[in-house]
Amino acid sequence: METTKKDELVTSLKGVGSGTATALHELGIETLEDLVMTFPYRHEDFRLKNLAETPHNERVTVEGRVESEPSLLFLGKNKSRLQVRLLAGQHLIKAVFFNQAYLKTKLELGQVVTVTGKWDRGRQVVNVTTFSSGPKTDQQDFEPVYSLKGTINQKTFRKFMRLALDELAQVLIDVLPESLRITYRLPGISEALEGIHFPQNVDHSKNARRRFVYEELLIFQLKMQAIKKVRKEQNKGNSVAYDNNQLKKLIETLPYELTNAQKRVVNEICRDLKEPHRMNRLLQGDVGSGKTVVAAISLYAVITAGYQGALMAPTEILAEQHASSLDEWLSPMGVRMALLTGSTKTKARRIVLENLEAGNIDLLIGTHALIQPDILFNQLGLVITDEQHRFGVEQRRVLKEKGENPDVLFMTATPIPRTLAITAFGEMDVSIIDEMPAGRKEIDTHWMKEDQLHKIIVRLTRELANGRQAYIICPLIEESEKLDVQNVVDVYTMMSAALGKDYTVGLMHGRLHSDEKEGVMREFSEGKVQVLVSTTVVEVGVNVPNATFMIIFDAERFGLAQLHQLRGRVGRGEHQSYCILLADPKSEEGKERMMSMTETNDGFVLAEKDLELRGPGDFFGRKQSGLPEFKVADLVHDYRALNTAKVDAEKMLNSVDFWHSEEMEGLRSVLINSKVLEGERID
Ligand code: ADP
Ligand code: MG
């Protein structure tokens, strides 16, 4: 776009006074460019349709000749009903206007008029909202509807939009290279803007949208990849000279042989560690695929090279569990470990901090407590965060900055659909553990109603009699932790009544003190508690291989990703496991989620399904996701455009000639302005 004209303030438009300017300002619109880049969220459709095929209650636009004198009826203060007969093609219909008495004079016998309203039982247009004298041809087929607030209305906004588009039409410079526009048959910027605001027809609108989706995703990909490239070149990380023999020794002492996927991933990580740039890697592996041991090996690698390692988990229970697994594997190798969580006592904490700074601790495991400002490492070489999507961007940054360019590995058991992986983690390298340890059995999953509970308990008792254990997961009540607790206590009471005679039933929820939680969890993992009634605090990572039975109450309240996570607490050992979803979903979507759970154990399949059903915003939950917000693109439907944009961005950045060619000038300046070429983060 040309610099001067598009940067002109909206007040340069005829009719925009200070009042309007203020209203536009509230919408974030200052310049002409801001204005034309404010897209409508939908269009009102004023096309004439075949009345015979128009369903009852649908909005409809009708062009017709006035066939009767209008009749006007006053129904009280400011209330009136005006009606008239129209001949629309073959159809003699009625048009009914409420509270628009002033239109009476415009409905002259024999005149052609156009009305829009609700089509009622094939006979009349009721509640006319839009009226114009004269035939439909005088009116646009599609009228944009914008998301507005404040004093400005749609009509005024449209008027200024029209003016701004006319002002800019001749002077806009297109950022998209012409060669690409030709390849993909994308409209140029002026035509696209026209089509996104005031389309002549459906194709006009579709092509305009296609163009902006591509442009948006291409620029996004260029930024992501530029960052990745610049980081690789500039980020002098540690070249970790780990001791390969020591690593082999550790791997030999493990209680099992690594799966091929684990071996591959360990190699990918070790290669990154050795290289002098900073590792920024995402490790994806379904629940139970064995990420912990990969973390242990990676941490041990940096420790053999004289660095410290840190492992951060989202909950205390998980941190403790990691600590005990890693202790088992790494202590025999001489690794000095410490655990730091929110409940570490002040004095113990101080000792840990001192030893950490002095370099007497090789490995620190913990929760968010690890990223407090007073925690200083001696020489931090590798940071691993487990279940990384639960951490915000900011926390990730703080932790990275604790050491001198530590390598960073993010682990997640929530399989991320491909499109989201490219977008949310586009600037990262990705490793995937796509293989389960041998002998793992599929979890047999059933969807049942709560009135079958007694039958389920009979089945559960059989598992318990065979020496197995069970989880009972209680509904998640989003609004209130208090209700969560009440719920879990109710279920606990019921289960204790049903099973308490022969078995020990434990209770776990977020309100318990961490010692209590730890106590219950320990008793469960030692088999002293056979049935654990819990809220979703057991969701991530918890590992009790002897647990083979899970009941999830009100399963329809959970998203697929979370159900899959929960279900992953069973099926971790040699025995066949079962998961019962108690659910009575009202929506089709809810039913589909339950069906999907019973049909597959594959987290990636479920992730794609979840994305499709709930959309990208909900996929990661409400917490900070690191997901970019797109203006036009939609990650569910535009995944093909995303892939195309990704490939094109790679080509552009890898071909020096193309990158510096004249037609790339627009995109180059977008990147230069966003500062990503200096390696700055875009979010
Ligand atoms: P997740 O990827 O969900 O964090 P874990 O690391 O907790 O999975 O591993 C799940 C279970 O699988 C643990 O009991 C672990 O000891 C076991 N495991 C991991 N790797 C292997 C392997 N290669 N062979 C057999 N069992 C394994
Ligand atoms: Mg895990």
For position 80, which CATH number holds?
2.40.50.140
Looking from the CA of 34 toward its CB, the CA atoms found within 13 Å total: 14
| pLDDT > 70 fraction of the chain, expressed in percent and rounded | 89
Residue 32 has pLDDT above 50, yes or no: yes
Residue 583 tokens read as 């659910």
Looking from the CA of 113 toward its CB, the CA atoms found within 13 Å total: 27
pLDDT classification of 683: cutoffs 50, 70, 90: very low
pLDDT classification of 492: cutoffs 50, 70, 90: very high
CATH assignment at residue 276: 3.40.50.300
410 and 474 inside one domain: no
How much is the average pLDDT of 60-68? 93
Q: C-alpha distances in angstroms, 24 versus 6, 27, 34, 38, 186?
A: 16, 5, 10, 11, 30
Q: What is the pLDDT of residues 632-679, one digit of tens each?
A: 887 767 878 888 998 899 899 888 888 888 889 989 988 888 776 665
Residues with CB under 6 Å of ligand 1 are: 256, 258-259, 262, 285, 287-293, 413, 437, 541, 543, 545, 572
Q: Is residue 142 part of a domain?
A: no
424 and 290 inside one domain: yes
* C-alpha of residue 595 to centroid of ligand 1, in Å: 27
376 and 505 inside one domain: no
- The rounded Cα 98 to chain-centroid distance in angstroms is 44
Q: Is residue 279 part of a domain?
A: yes
Q: Which of 133, 150, 185 is the last residue of a domain?
A: 133
Q: Is residue 518 part of a domain?
A: yes
523 and 398 inside one domain: no
Question: Which of the two residues, 590 and 370, has the higher pLDDT score?
Answer: 590
* C-alpha of residue 108 to centroid of ligand 2, in Å: 76
* C-alpha of residue 49 to centroid of ligand 2, in Å: 57
From 251, 256, 317, mutation site for ligand 1 pocket: most ligand atoms within 8 A of C-beta: 256
β-bridge mates for residue 145, sequence order: 42
406 and 463 inside one domain: no
* C-alpha of residue 512 to centroid of ligand 2, in Å: 23
Which residue's alpha carbon is at the smallest distance from atom 4 of ligand 1?
291
479 and 515 inside one domain: yes
672 and 578 inside one domain: no
Per-residue model confidence (pLDDT) at position 602: 86
Question: Which of the two residues, 63 and 233, has the higher pLDDT score?
Answer: 63
* C-alpha of residue 437 to centroid of ligand 1, in Å: 7
231 and 248 inside one domain: no
Residues with CB under 5 Å of ion ligand 2 are: 541
355 and 499 inside one domain: no
Residue 542 has pLDDT above 80, yes or no: no
Residue 682 has pLDDT above 50, yes or no: no
487 and 400 inside one domain: no
pLDDT classification of 216: cutoffs 50, 70, 90: very high
Give 640-661 as a 3 state SS string: HHHHHHHHHHHHHHHCHHHHCC
How much is the average pLDDT of 220-229? 84
Which ligand does the CA of 543 lie closest to?
1
Helix (H, G, I), strand (E, B), or coil: what is residue 129? strand
Per-residue model confidence (pLDDT) at position 638: 83
How much is the average pLDDT of 539-549? 81
Per-residue model confidence (pLDDT) at position 2: 43
Per-residue model confidence (pLDDT) at position 628: 65
Secondary structure letter of residue 48 according to DSSP: B
Q: Is residue 616 part of a domain?
A: no
Q: What is the pLDDT of residues 296-349, one digit of tens each?
A: 999 999 999 999 999 998 878 789 889 999 999 999 999 999 999 888 999 999
Q: Is residue 260 part of a domain?
A: yes
Contact 565, 387 (CB under 8 A): no
How many domains are there within the chain? 4
How much is the average pLDDT of 268-279? 90
How much is the average pLDDT of 540-549? 83
Q: Is residue 150 part of a domain?
A: no
pTM reported for the whole predicted model: 0.64
Per-residue model confidence (pLDDT) at position 396: 58
| pLDDT > 90 fraction of the chain, expressed in percent and rounded | 51
Per-residue model confidence (pLDDT) at position 455: 94
Per-residue model confidence (pLDDT) at position 256: 93
Question: Which of the two residues, 189 and 149, has the higher pLDDT score?
Answer: 189
**Average pLDDT of every residue of the chain:** 87
Q: Is residue 10 part of a domain?
A: no
Q: Which domain holds residue 381?
A: 244-433
Q: Is residue 451 part of a domain?
A: yes
Q: Which of 433, 451, 471 is the last residue of a domain?
A: 433
Residue 168 has pLDDT above 70, yes or no: yes
How much is the average pLDDT of 345-371? 92
pLDDT classification of 565: cutoffs 50, 70, 90: confident
642 and 539 inside one domain: no
Residue 488 has pLDDT above 50, yes or no: yes
Per-residue model confidence (pLDDT) at position 94: 94
Per-residue model confidence (pLDDT) at position 203: 94
How much is the average pLDDT of 122-138? 85
In terms of C-beta density within 10 A (0-12 exposed, 13-18 middle, 19 or more buried), how is residue 211 classed? buried
561 and 645 inside one domain: no
> Which residue do the tokens 């001489």 mark?
334
Contact 51, 93 (CB under 8 A): yes
Q: Which of 433, 460, 487 is the last residue of a domain?
A: 433
Task: Name which of 152-161, 191-200, 534-543, 582-591 the model is least confident about.
Answer: 534-543
Question: Which of the two residues, 560 and 327, has the higher pLDDT score?
Answer: 327
Question: Which of the two residues, 16 and 287, has the higher pLDDT score?
Answer: 16
Per-residue model confidence (pLDDT) at position 623: 38
Residue 681 has pLDDT above 50, yes or no: no
615 conformational bin, left if phi > 0, alpha if psi -120 to 50, beta if neither? left
